[in-house]
Structure 1
């Protein structure tokens, strides 16, 4: 399960995995994002708020996650991975080879800094 919130004024999607990710989770996030993208060219950012990462319920959940990334990767300017989980903290180094968005890791205590970074226009 994913909790998702769209900060419409900022064009920022906040996602928080709270239970094993399922195929339907990505459909629900798409229902939140698609109406915004019909009116705007891109999302300014995605904040992945991952105090923990429960994994995927099954292979269909993983495949849906990968399809979601593929479908939206060119429509996102920046991704902030907010986590202290070791494997997820190296996410930016891995993901930069697959997405056009600028990706950065922030420790969990830097969540507000991550949000501020997503809200800025320039690099920095």
Structure 2
């Protein structure tokens, strides 16, 4: 399951994977996000709160995650990843090869710093 909320008047999207991710969840999230992108033209930031990330249900869910990221990255300026997981700490370096947005990792207790970095227009 993916929970989400908006910050800074729909300028920053926060997503929180809280269970194993399934393909349908990315389609449902895109249905929520796409209208906001159409209305605002872009998102300044995406905060991925991966502190409780449990992985993907199957390979199809991983592919759905990649498709969602590929479709949305053109509309993002920055992506912040919150996690203390050493494997997920490599996520920003991996994402930098596939997305045009600037990606940066943050320790799990640095949510305010991550939001401040995402909100900074520079």
- The residue aligned with 2:102 is 102
Measured in 2, the distance between the counterparts of 1:20 and 1:69 equals 17
Aligned length: 122
- The residue aligned with 1:48 is 48
Contact 1:77 1:101 in 2 (8 A): yes
Contact 1:83 1:107 in 2 (8 A): yes
Structure 1 stretches of at least 4 aligned residues deviating more than 3 Å after TM superposition: none
- The residue aligned with 2:36 is 36
Question: How does the TM-score come out when normalised to structure 2?
Answer: 0.94
Unaligned runs of 5+ in 1: none
Measured in 2, the distance between the counterparts of 1:74 and 1:103 equals 13
Question: Residues 1-124 of structure 1: matches in 2 within 5 Å?
Answer: 1-7=1-7, 9-122=9-122
Using the TM superposition, give the Cα deviation of residue 52 of structure 1 relative to its aligned residue in structure 2, in angstroms: 2.6
Using the TM superposition, give the Cα deviation of residue 39 of structure 1 relative to its aligned residue in structure 2, in angstroms: 1.2
Contact 1:10 1:119 in 2 (8 A): no
Contact 1:17 1:52 in 2 (8 A): yes
Unaligned runs of 5+ in 2: none
Measured in 2, the distance between the counterparts of 1:115 and 1:25 equals 24
Using the TM superposition, give the Cα deviation of residue 70 of structure 1 relative to its aligned residue in structure 2, in angstroms: 1.1
Where 1:70 maps in the other structure, the secondary structure is helix
